Structure 1
Amino acid sequence: MMLKIKTRTEVESITPYVLGKRLNEIQEEFGLKEIRKLSENENIYGCSVKVKNYLANLAEQLHLYPDGSVTDSAAAVSTHLHVKRNQLVFGNGSDEVIRLIAKAYLNYGDEAVMADKTFPRYRSNVFLEGGKPVLVPLVNGVHDLSGMLEAITVKTKMVFVCNPNNPTGTIVGKEELLAFIEQIPSHILVIVDEAYYEYVTTDDYLQTIPLLSKFSNLVILRTFSKIYGLASLRIGYGVMNEEIATQLTKVKDVFNVNQVAQRAAEISIRDVAHVQTCKEKNQIERAFLEKELGKLGLTYFPSEANFMMIDCGCTGDEITNELLRNGIVVRTGSLLGFPNKIRYTIGTRNDNQKFVSILEQKLRQGEYK
């Protein structure tokens, strides 16, 4: 029987997020004994051992509702970042904070400026609230901030800058980003998504937290899903002007962040040593990959994150399938707006050597280049 209930026009126009196959399905399909998932930019070194110790003893708390105010996590983040508690809004991942921003501030027909190839949740949440995403093409994988400024109109309500950008891993320089923020009218929200902030090693990166006191329209997004290794628990947050935080709190669910995630986040942000270790390992392996890919004559966007967008000399689907047959799961660029590239989460040295070896073998066979 055909369903006669019509959905909202905005929902009908949205394509669902494409999820990869489960690891056990891939293993069964290709007859693999071992498989490495390097497709979703997760921290391959995992979470803090202190979190693991906590998780082993949490059964006695599962019957309780979580703290709707996220009190302890907020206190820990507030201390870590030197911001006020009422400047923080927590979500079921930082993507929920994006949804809250759209829900609280967008009226029908309002515009939101963003890169054309960036985190897709900006576009979908703006669209769902009746807003119009205004897409500005990247330039060599980097945000075109001058182009984004030119795209601002009287209808613009917010702009998004993903820094480092997902899926390219690139950043905009600190002077350029500061000049951009300074030129945005104060009635327009400037949302800087720093999901991969902790992985950045360059000095040419703008520290945005100190700018909150100067720019009341600035919102900074961070997450525990990446370097903190808590992707499965879903917790992220935004740092912003107290009045913006108040408005977002009005439209969020009361118990939007579960208690296990809250406690894990509190423990994680205090384990500075674990974060530093993961950052250093990622930096070493990123440099290794850059060197090895250079030897093979393969190009990539310069990354400041824990992943790289690589041109392997063939379609992204081709090399993705070849890697799958060898037990390595990556994200094909055809799903990210780069059909001739793949996005590879930087792995351990063993992962990266195997990855490079497969690429080298295919290049020698002349199948792709």
Structure 2
Amino acid sequence: MDIKTLANQGVLGLHPYQPGKPVEELERELGISDIVKLASNENPLGLSPKAKAAIEQATAELTRYPDANGFYLKQKLAERWSVNPAQITLGNGSNEVLEILFRTFVSADSEVIYDQHAFIVYALLTQSIGAKAVPVASKAWGHDLEGMLASITDKTRMICVANPNNPTGTFLPTDALKAFLDKVPANILVVLDEAYYEYVEADVRAESHQWLAQYPNLIVSRTFSKAYGLAGLRVGYALTSEAMADLLNRVREPFNCNSLALAAATAVLDDAEYLAAGIELNNTEMARLEQYFTERKLPFIPSTGNFIAVEVGDAGAVYEALLQQGVIVRPVAGYGMPNHLRVSIGTQAENTRFMAAMDVVLAHR
């Protein structure tokens, strides 16, 4: 028997998500050490002291199941964003939040709209369900909201908007998003994926959590994996209407957030000093990389995240050459950007190392 004949049709054409290469894998492959990883948009500052203390305290209860409803984290998030705890759905990272949304609302006869260079998980989830993907051509590397509106049909169930977008780093201003939401029919869900929300300047970012009452079809997705430095613990959440959260929590797996993750996320929300230090470092080092790319005449896409996409020609070859020097960045050919590399913003020392390695590569072109 061919086991593939039993699989859902949408699964057969899938290719597994390719994360940034782990440091350990490169060590095994090349036998080198002192590796710099700038591939997965992680916080380079290490763990928040408050999160670390909370984790250490939570280890005493690891023989017990975690709180299936995440009571204390929901309370803290509800207070932070001025919503009711019943409007919150927790996930094993925002990736799982997206999966829960798709499993709840998208079916094989649905259509899902997203940007051609948007987070690849949208495409993977759409295909796995067997729904029709409707990628919309980008406009200056960013979302073409009018193009998305023009792509709506009677089968459209969901529109995914990443803001800032990964991997391009482009950003949609508040007025554009509001005008877009005003035009989307109420029976079509809009997922506003804000994984990099904290990196956007406070005076320009959309406070989208304040729009939930006005737009019952809106889902705001955020994560603790980036600015809050908990990528290894996997905690994300969605802010929605209470009615929508009720449906999502029917689909959500019990105990999907482990005890250490819940404790760390609850604690790190109070670590304003850690968050501010990460954002300051990101702004400073982003400016250094922009200056470097400008001086080397390497076109880049201005970014509002904690990463930057730079055009380097044969990106695959440059990526491999950087690996030989112990520097891991992210090729993004799978996002329709074969000439670009996405470089996460690291510490000053890590970014200096990347630039030195890049100079070596450029010298041999």
How far off its partner does 1:30 sit? 2.8
Classify the secondary structure of the residue corresponding to 2:212. helix
C-alpha spacing 1:4/1:103, structure 2 compared with 1 (3 Å): closer
Q: Distance in 1 between matches of 2:25 and 2:97?
A: 32
SS in 2 for 1:178: helix
Deviations 1:291-327 (A, max 9, x none): 1211111111110000011112x21111111111111
Mean Cα deviation higher: 72-81 or 98-107 = 98-107
1:24 is aligned to 24
> Structure 1 residues 362, 37: closer, same or farther in 2, change over 3 A?
closer
Deviation track 1:120-151 (CA, whole Å, cap 9, x = no partner) reads 22122223233212110112210111100100
Count of aligned pairs between the two proteins:
365
CA contact (8 A) 2:116 2:335 kept: no
> Are 2:328 and 1:316 aligned?
no
Where structure 1 has 5 or more consecutive residues not aligned to the other structure, the ranges are none
Alignment partner of 1:322: what SS? helix
Q: Counterparts of 1:1-369 in structure 2 under 5 Å?
A: 3=3, 6-201=6-201, 203-312=203-312, 314-365=313-364, 367=365
TM-score, with length taken from structure 2: 0.96
- Alignment partner of 2:133: what SS? strand
> Would you say the 8 A contact 2:66–2:258 is kept in 1?
yes
Verify the 8 A CA contact 1:190 1:218 in the aligned structure 2.
Answer: yes
Q: C-alpha root-mean-square deviation of aligned residues, in Å?
A: 1.6
Partners of 2:128 and 2:2 in 1: CA distance: 25
The percentage of aligned residue pairs carrying the same residue is 35
Shift of 1:204: 3.6
Helix, strand or coil: the match of 1:344?
strand
Find the aligned partners of 1:264 and 1:77 in 2 and give their Cα distance.
13
- In structure 1, how many angstroms separate the alpha carbons of the residues matched to 2:31 and 2:14? 35
Stretch moving more, 61-70 or 171-180: 171-180
Whole-angstrom distance in 1 between the partners of 2:119 and 2:35: 26
Taking the aligned partners of 1:223 and 1:201, their CA distance within structure 2 comes to 17
Is contact 2:20-2:40 (8 Å) kept? Answer: no
Q: Which digits, 9 at most, give the CA deviation of each residue in 1:183-207, with x for residues without a partner?
A: 1111111110000000112744322
Question: Which amino acid counterpart does residue 27 of structure 1 have in structure 2?
Answer: E
Provide the C-alpha distance between the structure 2 equivalents of 1:19 and 1:276, rounded to a whole number of angstroms. 27
1:95-132 Cα deviation digits (max 9, x unpaired): 11111111111233111111112112212222323321
TM-score normalized by the length of structure 1: 0.95
Alpha-carbon distance in structure 2 between the residues aligned to 1:292 and 1:4: 49
Structure 1 86/50 Cα, relative in aligned 2: closer, same or farther at 3 Å?
same
Question: In structure 2, what is the Cα distance between the partners aligned to 1:230 and 1:183?
Answer: 36
Amino acid in structure 2 at the alignment position of 1:54: A
Amino acid aligned to 1:103: R
Q: Is the 8 A contact 2:21 2:328 kept in 1?
A: no
Q: CA deviation at 1:4?
A: 6.9
